[in-house]
Structure 1
Amino acid sequence: MTHVYFHCSNRSEVLVDRRGAVVDDLAEARDHATRVVRSLTMVRSLEDWRCWVLHVNDDLGEELFLVPFAFVLGKPH
């Protein structure tokens, strides 16, 4: 089990995940990352989430992988 953090950023803002989550492996971290992106983008707002990126870091601050929001959201309709 590994404690990972899911920070989000765009060119002008950073949303820092201070709680993180305990995951068994990278696949579980990826699934959790997708849920984080979906939960943030479900809130009605004027924010263009497609330019945001989710950074998955371990408890030492090392970046494990990135998830561009556009990858999860797909192309606009």
Structure 2
Amino acid sequence: MTQVFFHCSNTKKVFLDYNGAVVNDLAEARDHATRVVQSFTNMRGSEDWRDWVLHVSDDQGDELFVVPFTFVLGKPH
């Protein structure tokens, strides 16, 4: 198990995750990252999220992977 952090950013804003989550593996981190993206887009209304990226980092600050919000949201209709 490892502690990972889920920071969200675009070119104008950054939201830092100070608590993180304990995950067993990268698959669990990916699933949690998807839920984080969904919670951001659901709670913040009509903001355009297409230029946002979720950065997943370990407790040493090393980036494990990134998830562009568009991967979760899909293309606009």
TM-score by length of structure 1 reads 0.96
Report the equivalent of 1:63. Answer: 63
C-alpha change, 1:51 and 1:29, in structure 2 (3 Å) is same
Give 3-state SS (helix, strand or coil) of 1:67's partner. Answer: strand
Paired letter, 1:28: E
Report the equivalent of 1:49. Answer: 49
* Aligned-pair CA distance for 1:43: 2.0
C-alpha distance in 2 between matches for 1:43 and 1:49: 12
C-alpha distance in 2 between matches for 1:24 and 1:5: 14
Report the equivalent of 2:74. Answer: 74
Give 3-state SS (helix, strand or coil) of 2:61's partner. Answer: coil
C-alpha distance in 2 between matches for 1:66 and 1:56: 6
C-alpha distance in 2 between matches for 1:6 and 1:15: 9
Unaligned runs of at least 5 residues, structure 2: none
* 1:1-77 paired onto structure 2 within 5 Å: 1-77=1-77
Paired letter, 1:43: M
RMSD of aligned Cα (Å): 0.8
Write the deviation string for residues 42-67 of structure 1: whole angstroms up to 9, x where unpaired.
Answer: 12523111110000000000000000
TM-score by length of structure 2 reads 0.96
C-alpha distance in 2 between matches for 1:20 and 1:60: 12
Paired letter, 1:40: F
Aligned sequence identity (%): 71
